[in-house]
């Protein structure tokens, strides 16, 4: 990891308040620019002194500065783009075709299955799924992507994740996914940070999908951010009588596109329906290990999780059940 300067550490602490887009679009390096140039290019005069007085703590977390060539191009031009992205895992995943999938924490089982199914399809086609590591739809989206996923969190990556969240982070990392934060490593989680990071979730995706959202859902904030950022917005239609349908129906009434299958997203990202190497990592793993028991032993996940995952893949036509509880990829998913 490159050493990060006090300027960029200070900028990270001001994420959400500091707008460096004027400097970036003008080709000016904000780290070396004089005070007057920063102000002339949109930086608040009150924030300029704060950019010179921070210390970078010792950490092994990767850090991508706004001026770095490997900083995600989809975020770089946006107003109030995070000055620094902190990453656990391989940052190269940030450079691949991405879709953001969000929704309710207390979602229906149908929403959970749909999120899992769409994510699995996107991952199998070579895409990457972005979400917020919350329960419900987010959790299903991360699991469906089986390692081809980016979790955007509302805390510093140097602060230990608590309880069940720590286990989910470990599982995601073990499968090859990455954890991303705009906040300095020592920033503790706070309620307002969840809403702030939503613009990063939408900004990292070429499109945003809302699977299920009530009228007060934070997913509506992510949807609004997606529209402000010029992203395509898709919503899974639901019956008005169902709990959690109101927010999504309001988005549809406002012009969001309905999403009926993963094919729409795959086409939107310009992906093929077959993974680039002929078979996705998930399907290779199922082909090699076959049963829920063997897959659980291989990945460290529970047998219950794999039973549910295999059942969903069977219903969607991606795997076939054989005698003895073994599963194999269907020809359309593996060729």
Domain regions of the chain by residue span:
6-70+82-88, 95-268, 281-334
260 pLDDT more than 50: yes
Query: Looking at 86-100, 131-145, 195-209, 303-317, which range is the least confident one?
Result: 303-317
Instruction: Supply angle C-alpha 235, 146, 60, rounded to 5.
Output: 105
Contact between residue 11 and residue 51 where contact means Cβ atoms under 8 Å apart: yes
| CATH 3.30.200.20, domain 281-334, yes or no | no
> Could you say which of 3.30.460.10, 3.60.21.10, 3.40.50.450, 3.20.20.140 is the CATH number of the domain covering 95-268?
3.40.50.450
Residues 6+ apart with CB under 8 A from 177: 89, 93, 142, 145, 147, 148, 149, 150, 151
pLDDT digits (tens, 9 = 90+) for 19-37: 999 999 999 999 999 999 9
Q: Which pTM value belongs to this model?
A: 0.79
Per-residue confidence band for 298, with pLDDT thresholds at 50, 70 and 90:
confident
Rounded Cα distance between 104 and 261, Å, is 19
Residue among 85, 102, 91 nearest 205 (CA): 102
């Amino acid at each position: 990891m490159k050493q990060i300067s006090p300027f960029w550490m200070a900028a990270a602490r001001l994420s959400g308040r500091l707008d460096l887009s004027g400097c970036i679009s003008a080709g000016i390096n904000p780290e070396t620019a004089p005070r007057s140039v920063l102000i002339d290019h949109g930086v608040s005069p009150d924030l300029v002194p704060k950019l010179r007085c921070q210390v970078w703590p010792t950490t092994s977390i990767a850090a991508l500065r706004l001026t770095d060539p490997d900083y995600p191009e989809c975020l770089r031009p946006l107003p109030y783009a995070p000055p620094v992205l902190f990453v656990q895992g391989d940052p190269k995943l940030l450079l691949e075709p991405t879709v953001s999938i969000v929704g309710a924490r207390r979602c229906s089982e149908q929403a959970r299955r749909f999120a899992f199914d769409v994510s699995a399809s996107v991952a199998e086609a070579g895409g990457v799924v972005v979400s917020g590591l919350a329960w419900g739809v987010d959790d299903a989206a991360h699991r469906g992507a089986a390692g081809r996923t980016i979790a955007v969190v509302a805390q510093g990556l140097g602060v230990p994740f608590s309880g069940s969240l720590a286990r989910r982070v470990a599982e995601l990392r073990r499968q090859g996914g990455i954890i991303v934060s705009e906040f300095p490593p020592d920033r503790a989680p706070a309620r307002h940070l969840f809403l702030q990071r939503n613009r990063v979730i939408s900004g990292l995706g070429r499109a945003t999908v809302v699977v299920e959202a009530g009228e007060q859902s934070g997913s509506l904030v992510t949807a609004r951010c997606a529209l402000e950022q010029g992203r395509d917005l898709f919503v899974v239609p639901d019956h008005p009588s169902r709990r959690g349908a109101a927010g999504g129906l309001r988005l549809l009434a406002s012009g969001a596109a309905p999403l009926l299958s993963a094919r729409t997203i795959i086409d939107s990202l310009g992906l093929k329906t077959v993974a680039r190497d002929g078979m996705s990592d998930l399907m290779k793993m199922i082909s090699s290990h076959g049963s829920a028991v063997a897959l659980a032993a291989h990945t460290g996940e529970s047998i219950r999780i794999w039973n549910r995952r295999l059942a969903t893949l069977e219903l969607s036509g991606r795997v076939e059940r054989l005698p003895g509880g073994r599963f194999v990829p269907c020809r359309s998913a593996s060729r």
